[in-house]
Structure 1
Amino acid sequence: MAEPIAKFLLRLAPMIYGPTLLFALGQGALIPLIPTMATRAGADLATSGLVASALVVGQLCGNIPAGWLVAKVGERMAMVISGFLALAGALMLPFASNIGVLALAIFINGFCAAAFGLARHSFMATHVPFHFRARALALLGGSYRFGMFLGPFVGALLLGSSGHESAVIWFLIACLAVTVLLVWFGPDPEREFEAGAREPITGEATAGVSLPDSPNAKEGVFSTMVRFRAVLARLGLAASTLSALRAARQVVLPIWGVAIGLDAQTISLVVGISGALDFALFYASGQVMDRFGRLWAVIPSMLMMSFAFLMLALTGGWDSATAWFIALAAVIGVANGLSSGLLLTLGADLAPKQNPAPFLGSWRTLTSAGAAAAPVLFSGMAAVAPIGVATAAMGVIGLFGTWAFLRWMPRKGGRA
C-alpha cells in the first residue's frame, strides 16, 4: 500500500525541509547587510555591488562541481561537506577587514549553497514518487522562500537589539552549525527511503523530447552534459528564461517605482505585497503540476509575467502609473507563485534515475545563468535606453521562453 503523501512529506522534514529553512534563514538575514559591510571595508558603491554579486557568482560556479561531489559521495555527505565549508566561510566574516576577504567569504557561501541545494534536489529526484513529486519540490522551494523572506526581518531585529552587524553574522553561523548537525546526526535520507518500491521516474517519458539512454552511475558531469546536450539546449534554455524573469522582477519593480516618483516606503510595501502573493501560492503550484501537468503551471505563469512587464513599460507616463504599478506588481507575484517549484520539478523529471546529480548540475547552471544575466541585461539596457524599453525587453524574453516551453514541454503530466 502506498504511503500517504502527508506522512511521506513529514518524514522529509528533519533531513530536507528543516535544513533548507535554516540555511535560507541565515542567508536571508545576511544578504541585506552585504553592501553595508563592503562599504565599511572601504568599497565604493559600484564595488559594493560587485561584492554583493559574489553570492550569485558563487552559486553559478558551484553547480557543476556540486554535481560531481554528489555523484561521488552521495547526497547526505555532500550536504555535510558543503555545510562545513559554508560554516568556514561564515567564520571568515567577523574578521573580514578588507574587500577581498569579504568577497571570498560571500563567494564561498554562494558556492556551498549551490552544492547544498543540488544534493537535496538529487535526493528528491531519486526517491520521491512521480505522482506527487511536484508538491514535494514545491514545498522544498517554499521552505527556501520562507527562510529568505523571514531572514531580513530577523536580521533587522538583531540589528535593532544589538546595534551591530556582528549579531547577524553570528546568527548565520548558528543557523549553519545547526544545519550541519541536523544533517550529520539526523536520519540518513538515502537509507531511510531505501526500502520500498519506487515507480520508475527517469525523464525519458516526461521530457517530451527524445533522450538517449540514461548514463550509468560512473558517468561524470561533462560526459553527462554532452549526452544530454539536446535537452539542455532546448528545455534548459526555456528554463533559463523563467529564471531570468524571476530575477528581473527583483530589479525592475524597485527601479520602476523610483522612476515614477514613489518613495522608498511605498516601493517596499508594493514589493512586499508581491512577494507575499508569490509565497502564498507555492503549494498550489505543486498541486496544479501533479494533477494537470507541468505545462499548465508554466505557461500561465510565463504569459502573465511577460504581459505584465510589457504593460508596465507602457504605463510610465500615464496619470494612473502608480495604480498600474501596484496592480502589475501583484500580477507578477501571482504569476511567479504559480510556477513555484517548476524548475526543480522539471529538472527532476528529466534527470536519469540512476545518477541524477551530474545532469542536475548542468541544469541548475543554466537556470542560475539566466537569473544572473537578467539583472545585468536590464541594467545595461537602462543605461543606454529609456527604462520602458529595458522593461519591455524582459517581457519579450518571457514570450520567447513561453514559445520554447510550448515547443518542447510534454503535454502530459504523467508517464505515458
Structure 2
Amino acid sequence: MALLTSVPAKTPGHGAAPAAAGRDRFVDAIRAFGTIAVLLLHWLIPVVGWDGQRLAIGNALSAGQGWLVTWPLQVIPLMFFAAGAAAWCSRGDATAPVPFLRRRLGRLLPPVIVFVLVWAMVLAPAALALGVPAAAVARGASIAPQLLWFVAVYLLLSLATPLLLRAYHRYGLGLVLPLAGAAVAVDAARFLLGGPSWLGYLNVLFVWAVPYLLGFGYADGRFRNVPRRALVAVAAASVLVLALLVAAGPYPASMVGLPGDTMSNMNPPTICLLLVTGFQVPIALLARGPVLRALRYRPVGRAVGFVQARSMTLYLWHLTAMFVLVGVVLFGLHRQLPVAWSAGWWATRPLWYGVLIALTAVLVRVFGRVELRAPRPPRSARALAGYTGIGCLFAALLLVITTGTMATGPFGPQTVALLLGALGATLLVLSRRPAAAPAGGRNLRP
C-alpha cells in the first residue's frame, strides 16, 4: 500500500493538474486516511466470547444501526483511487510489463511474504505453546490472512495497468462508463436473471477498475475545471441511489460483509461499491484544498508521511495486534469482552483503542523496516523469467480471489496460491535486466 505517488499539486484547488515532478501530498493523505479508517473500522468490530470449549465470534456492526459506520469507513475505493494516481505517474515504464510490475510491487510483496511466514512459523506455534486453545489459534490463523484480498485485487489491477493506460489514452474517462455498465450487467444477471454466483467475481475487475481509472483522471488533471457544485451533485446523487438500492434490495445496508446477511457487497463486489466510489471521490476532491493547507503544518505532514510510508505494514499487522489483546483478555485475564454498544463497551473504548495503538506501534517498529527498505534485486536475468513470474502471480491471485484466503486448511488451494505468489515474485526480481551503461562505460545505480 505504500506506493510511489509522484503527482505534485499545481494549486490547492479541488482538481488541480499534477506537474511533472515531486509528490502529490494529497494522494499521500488519502492513503494515510484510508489506512487509519481501515484500522478504526476493524478494531470496532470484534464481539468475541469463550465458554471454555468454543470460541464465539460476532460483529458489532450487526447490531442496531452499526451498518451506518461502513458507508464513510469503507474506504477501499479511495485506496484504489490513490493507487490509480500512482500508476499514472509510473506510466512511462508501464508499456513493459515486467519492469513496471517489479517497480510497483517491490515494496508490496516483501511485507506480505514476511507476514505469512511469521504467522505460519512463529505466531501460531507460539500461541499454542502459551496455552491458547487450538480452536482459537485456528480461527485467528484463518481470519488474519483474509486481509490479503486487497493485495490480490491490487495485483490484478497492476497486471491490467498497461492495457488500462492504453485504453485511457484513447478514451479518457469515458472508459469508466462501459466498466460501470458491465458491473451493472453482472449484478442484473445475478439478481434478476438468476445467474450463477461466480459471475459476481467479474466485478472484481469491473468495480475496482473504476476508482483506479478515476485516479488516472485526477493525476492527468481531468478534474481541474470541474465545478464544486458538480462534485456535490454527484456525491449527493450517489448517496441517494445507494439508499434506494439498499431499501429495494437485494443489497444489504452494510458495505462490508456481516454475519446474518444473505449476501455481501464486498465479496464479490456489487454496484453498491460503485456508488460508494461515487460519493467518496467527489468528497475527497472537495476536501483537497483544506487537506493541503493542513499538510503545511509540520506535525500533520509528518504524521501523514509516517502512515503512508508504512501503510501496508499497518494494514497487515493491525488485526494481529487485536488478536493479541483479545487473547490476553479471554485467556490471560479470563474476562469476557463487553456487549457491543453497551455502556461498558463505550467506557472501555478509549482503553481498547489505546492498547491497540500501542501494540500496533510495536509491530510496525519490528516489521516496518521490511516495507521501508527498497529492494535492490540482481541485475542479471532473462525476460522469460519475468513473464513466467507474471503468470505465477496471475494464477495465485485468481486462486485467492476465487477460493478465499486460507479457509480450507494448510494444504488447500491457498497454499498453492502462496507458493505461486512467492515463485512469481522471485522470478520478477530475477528478471531485472542490466542497466544501460553510460558513455564512460560505468553503470549508474538507480
TM-score, normalising length from structure 2? 0.29
Which protein has the larger Cα radius of gyration, Structure 1 or Structure 2? Answer: 2
TM-score, normalising length from structure 1? 0.31
